[in-house]
Amino acid sequence: MFKPLDIKEKEETGSTTPSDVERVKCLIIGSGPAGYTAAVYAARANLNPVMYEGLQPGGQLTTTTEVENYPGYPEGVTGPVMMEDFKKQAERFGTDVRWGMATKADFSGNIHKVWIDDKKLIEAESVIIATGATAKYLGIEDEKKYAGGGVSACATCDGFFYRGKDVAVVGGGDTACEEALYLSGLCKKVYMIVRRDVLRASRVMAERVKKTPNIEILWKHQTKGLFGENGVVEGATLVKNKSEEGEEEVKIKIDGFFLAIGHKPNSDIFKNFLESDSVGYIKTIPGTSKTNIPGVFACGDVQDSVYRQAVTAAGTGCMAAMDAERYLSEKNS
């Protein structure tokens, strides 16, 4: 979604003339629940926020069909419609929402610099990063074919739709175990598709999975493809003991296919300035959205490796805007 930082010394694309530079009070990078909520609060605080939406306006929720666990939508709502509602509310209070991708950042000075599409330079007194995280996929074509029709990267988000049905979870780490255990409380049968003959998860999580009656671990299996009519998953084709003696093709009947092989936070362009963990999630001071750089705040999935929900992202978006408003107030007092 956001271009990695090129750390080599090079000239900017074209010359940076006055017309290429814009000074703003509050810059929001990225959209989605966190970004749009930050925009609502920042706009209401008269910070005149400018938001650049990135390549996927609305974030991961735009790839979700039904959202039934967000307060205020008693009948449920589709992800794209929900994000359009968020955007309209942000614009109603004066947020300047723009199309564009952040491609470079420089937080070394008092004024924070962010380049958009390698051309326009935004100089911001405060920056709110809401660039999210991208779920990792296997890379098979059927993941795209059945997107919204049985393929998901969030059991907590979509598991409700598979009550009493059979599903599969891909992965062998703690996240996969957590997803499988969550789904086991909703679904009739949960298959765990594990490439190796052991789980990478912690011993406690692994034991919980093994003791759950309706979870079946398919050791040394890899996904070859999915199948089903009318764009809806009806089963998966697996390969057991791939490239080994006894290799065979296996088919399982499932209604849902959940990826649990990790997420990659969209934080590459900030890594030379902001502290992050080994995966790339931006570190914030506990209980706040503050990063190690004064005036730079992070919210949503780019700093949350645990919950990754729309409602928690929105909450941290609120925090970021309030932290930014307090920062600017103290700075300019």
| pLDDT tens digit sequence for 170-185 | 999 988 998 999 999 9
Residue-level pLDDT at 6: 44
Determine which one of 154, 177, 187, 299 is catalytic: 154
Question: Which amino acid makes up residue 70?
Answer: Y
Residues of the chain above pLDDT 70, percent: 93
pLDDT exceeds cutoff 90 at 62 = no
| pLDDT tens-digit series, residues 134-181 | 888 999 999 999 988 999 988 888 999 999 999 999 999 988 998 999
Residue-level pLDDT at 10: 38
pLDDT exceeds cutoff 70 at 46 = yes
Q: How many beta carbons lie within 10 A of that of residue 218, not counting itself? A: 18
Residue 157 a catalytic site member: yes
pTM for the predicted model, two decimal places: 0.77
pLDDT exceeds cutoff 50 at 332 = yes
Residue 154 a catalytic site member: yes
Determine which one of 157, 177, 299, 318 is catalytic: 157
Q: What is the mean pLDDT of the chain?
A: 91
Residue-level pLDDT at 254: 98
State the pLDDT confidence band at 14, using cuts at 50, 70 and 90: very low
Residue-level pLDDT at 315: 97
By DSSP bridging, strand 151-152 and strand 256-259 are: parallel
Residues contacting 226, CB < 8 A, separation 6+? 140, 142, 143, 145, 146, 150, 151, 233, 235, 236, 237, 257
Residue 61, both tokens:
């929720």
| pLDDT tens-digit series, residues 194-240 | 999 999 998 999 999 999 999 999 999 999 999 999 999 999 999 99
In terms of Cα–Cα distance, which of 199, 248, 249 is closest to 219? 199
Residue-level pLDDT at 16: 46
Residue-level pLDDT at 56: 79
pLDDT exceeds cutoff 50 at 8 = no
Residue-level pLDDT at 78: 87
State the pLDDT confidence band at 65, using cuts at 50, 70 and 90: low
Determine which one of 26, 118, 142, 158 is catalytic: 158
Q: Which residues pair with 112 in a beta bridge?
A: 124
